[in-house]
Structure formats: C-alpha cells, structure tokens
Amino acid sequence: MSTAPASSPSFDKPSETGNVSAGLRTVSLSTVASRVLGLVRDVAMAAAFGNGPLMDAFSVAFRVPGVARGMFGEGALTAAFLPAFLQERTHKGPEGGWRLASGVLAVLAVGLTILVLAGELLLFLLWLNSDPGSDLRLLLG
C-alpha cells in the first residue's frame, strides 16, 4: 500500500477539489469585476475630462503601475520564482524556501526603490526644462 508524501498535495478527495474550484471561481469572478469596474472608471474619467491632455496624463498615471504589476507580479519573476522556491523548500526544508523568498524580496525592494527614485529624478528634470503651461508639463506633473 503506497501513500503520497505529506508535502505533496492530493486532490483525490472531493472536498479538496471543491476548495480548488471554489478558489478558482472566486479569482475568476474578482478578475471579471475588476475589468468591469475599470471600464466604468475609464468611461467616467472620459466623461469628466474629455479627450485631451488631462485625460492623457490620467491614462499614463494608471498605465505605469499596471505595467509594473504585469512584470513583477504576473510575469517572468513569478514564473521563475515559484519553481525555485519549491525546489529550495524540498531540498533544504521550509527555512531554505523562506530564506530564498526573503532574499528575492530584499533585492526587489532595493532595486525598485532605486528605479523609482531615478525615474522621479528624471521626470522632475524634464518638468523643470519644459515650458510652463505646456501639455508636456501637465503630463509630467
């Protein structure tokens, strides 16, 4: 009689399968709600600001965090981190996995802080060198 190792999940029981599908349903419905509310937000902002430089500035302000989330939260970092985390956890125990996670988070925090500060400095310098009252200054401010 063979049993599955304690660390590997088994989805043979109906209750565990139901929990996974309930979680999947929750995430899917939350994603749909997020998309619909985003559309409502965009329609409301377009009605309030019209189609012009102010709306462009608003769109850019919302696009930058979305791109960062896509790169660091849903992109290659996640695809590379999860297998490495599980391998560390399997070979060196839970402490090894959490040590890897702490290291990755520390590097991300320092790297992203430096990147944000450099970006803010660049935007400030561009803002200082732009004409007062121009659309570029509105976009950069």
**Could you tell me the mean pLDDT of each successive run of 10 residues in the chain, 141 residues long?**
51 58 84 90 83 78 78 74 87 88 90 90 88 75 69
Residue 117: the pLDDT is 94
For residues 63 and 118, membership in a common domain is answered with: yes
Do 60 and 41 belong together in one domain?
A: no
Domain that holds residue 63: 51-140
Maximum pairwise Cα distance, the chain: 79
pLDDT value for 40: 92
In a domain, 89, yes or no: yes
Total number of domains constituting the chain: 2
**Cα-based torsion angle of the residue sequence 65, 71, 74, 77 in order, rounded to the nearest 10 degrees:** -140
* Whether residue 41 is found in the same domain as residue 106: no
Tell me, yes or no, whether 76 and 132 share the same domain: yes
Residue 123 lies in a domain: yes
In a domain? residue 126: yes
For residue 10, is it within any domain?
A: no
Residues 56 and 44 in one domain: no
The reply to whether 46 and 56 lie within a common domain is no
Answer whether residue 6 is part of any domain: no
Q: d(Cα 89, Cα 96) in Å, to the nearest integer?
A: 6
90 lies in some domain: yes
- 130 and 70 fall within a common domain: yes
| 101 belongs to a structural domain | yes
Q: Are residues 70 and 118 in the same domain?
A: yes
pLDDT for 15 equals 56
Within-domain flag for 66: yes
Residue 6 confidence (pLDDT): 52
Q: How far is CA 121 from CA 46, 84, 128, in A?
A: 30, 35, 11
- Do 103 and 77 fall within a single domain? yes
